[in-house]
Amino acid sequence: MRILVIDDDRDFVEATRTVLESAPYQVDIAYSGAAGLAQARAARPDLIILDVIMPGESGFDIYEKLQAEPGLADVPVILLTSLSGSLSAMPTVGVKPVEYIEKPVRPAELLRRIKALSG
């Protein structure tokens, strides 16, 4: 399974890559929404882990673009947020993500969610 991680936090990305590769998954990374969108188009991942709060375009913006792309609209997306409080209170601007995970992400929880989404 190929997983694309899109997050501007390089430490988080590297730690997540280590966890995912040990699972073992193939991991692609992007440090911005635009780079992530380009990487998704090129690599056609099986799952995308996407940070909500990034400079420039937010994870919600990128998610909406992914949903508009043939061949990417069906790719499961896990949205990550560092916003404290209830995830149900987060504005979604019409976006319906597959999953939300609050940061800091526990590796076991991330792997459990990925396994559930991959069937």
Lowest-pLDDT choice from 10-14, 35-39, 85-89, 110-114:
85-89
Taking the whole predicted model, whether its pTM rises above 0.75 is answered as yes
What are the residues whose beta carbons fall under 8 Å from the beta carbon of 11, sequence distance 6 or more? Answer: none
CATH assignment of the domain containing 53: 3.40.50.2300
Number of domains composing the chain: 1
The CB density around residue 26, as the number of other CB atoms within 10 Å, is 13
Burial 84-100 (b: 16+ CB within 10 A, else e): eeeeeebeeeebebebb
Summarize the confidence of residues 43-58 as an average pLDDT.
Answer: 93
Task: Name the residue range of residue 37's domain.
Answer: 2-118
* Contact status, residue 44 vs residue 69, Cβ threshold 8 Å: no
Tokens found for residue 111: 């792997």
Q: Is the pLDDT of residue 18 over 90?
A: yes
Pairing of strands 47-51, 77-81: parallel
Q: What is the pLDDT of residue 86?
A: 43
Q: Is the pLDDT of residue 115 over 70?
A: yes
Q: What is the pLDDT of residue 98?
A: 62
Q: Is the pLDDT of residue 94 over 80?
A: no
Q: What is the pLDDT of residue 82?
A: 77
* DSSP run (H or E) holding 5: strand 2-6
